[in-house]
Amino acid sequence: MTGIEALNAPKKSIKVSFKEAFDADLHASNLTNWQQEYDQTSRGGFRGAIVELPFSDLQVFKEVTSQALQQKCVVWPDSVWLGIPLNGQEESRINGLTVREQHIMCRPGGCEFELTTPQNYELFGMVVKLPALMRMAKIHGVDLNWSELTEHGRLALPKKTLTDVRYVLTRLLNGQAISAMPERLAHDLLMMALLEVLKAEEPAPAQTQSYHHRKQVVDTARAFIHDHPDTPLTVTDLCEVANVSRRTLQYAFESILSISPIQYLRMSRLNGVRRELIVAEEGVNVADIAAEWGFWHMSQFAKDYRMLFGELPSHARVHAYSP
């Protein structure tokens, strides 16, 4: 819809939606039109919340997660996503690149990317369809270098620009503040904020060649783990498949994912078991599902599961949907 068409359209206000979940992967599915899979990596019960503003060509949201996560994400096609951590957040990572207080994240739609986020993390997200973004950029004389924007995943912004866009998003995701604002005005304000961000950005690529090698080591090991879910793999196996020493493997995992290889092995499989338990039919044997993921010692599995998720495996279905 053009600006003139919007002026002649019936005026309507927009409502903020709120969704809450008590399982990381169920929380991931609450974000409209995204394809996501979340693995919980810190210990304790999970709580996630999403506050979202829906438009036809623009999505704006705030995401809150209580536990550290490894996230695999794909945004809807023909779009671009900006991830803006709230002020004062601990460092996160996008595709292994550290995101600090001066950084935001940027990825194109239809392209998988990975996030590593700490406990008690809060993030603003903006997804816009490319035709709408390009139309607004042309109207306002903003020259967008598309390949530069999406190549690295991490952008640096001036402090004032970050402060201003966080203020706008905080105000508009407040249900009371936006309830009296026509949809057309809220949409325009958000698009202008988006253009201000993209106008001020500077790419922040990986600084050394070692990053690319570490990322390749981690990707190789993770692919091997994924392809052998029911095999009790060891760190030695991962070193051999990635053709690196134990020390190199350890450093690669800790620098890219903020977690050791042995922790990643255990956490990824425990999360796999939990995903299956949540959707399993009544009467399914927990031990059978655990065995499919390489857990053969049930007492140790139950102990590890409870330590990570704060509950027994048999409680997965009930506690994922209610606190």
Domain residue spans of the chain: 3-203, 209-321
Spell 91-121 as b/e; 16+ CB within 10 A means b. Answer: ebbbbbbbbeeebbbbbbbeeebbbbbbeeb
What whole-number distance in Å separates Cα of residue 147 and Cα of residue 131? 16
Contacts of 145 (CB under 8 A, 6+ apart): none
Strands 154-156 and 35-40: unpaired
**H-helix or E-strand spanning residue 247:** helix 246-257
pLDDT on residue 11:
53
Superfamily of domain 209-321: Homeodomain-like (1.10.10.60)
**What does the pLDDT read at residue 202?**
76
Report the pLDDT value the prediction gives residue 144, as an integer from 0 to 100.
80
pLDDT for 54: 84
Look at residue 318 in the predicted model and tell me its pLDDT: 65
3-203 and 209-321 share one fold: no
The confidence score (pLDDT) of residue 200 equals: 78
Reported pTM:
0.88
- 15: alpha, beta or left? (left if phi > 0; alpha if psi -120 to 50): beta
pLDDT in tens, the chain (323 residues): 454 454 445 555 677 899 999 999 999 999 999 999 999 999 999 999 999 998 999 999 999 999 999 999 999 999 999 999 999 999 999 999 999 989 999 999 999 999 999 999 999 999 999 999 999 999 988 888 766 677 778 889 999 999 999 999 998 898 666 666 788 888 999 999 999 988 877 777 766 678 989 999 999 999 999 999 888 889 999 999 999 999 999 999 999 999 999 999 999 999 999 999 998 887 788 999 999 898 989 999 999 999 999 999 988 866 555 55
Closest to 85 measured CA to CA, from 71, 67, 70, 106: 106
Residues in the chain, overall count: 323
Quick one: pLDDT at residue 7? 43
Identify the sign of the CA torsion 190, 196, 197, 203. Answer: positive
- Overall fold of domain 3-203: Jelly Rolls (2.60.120)
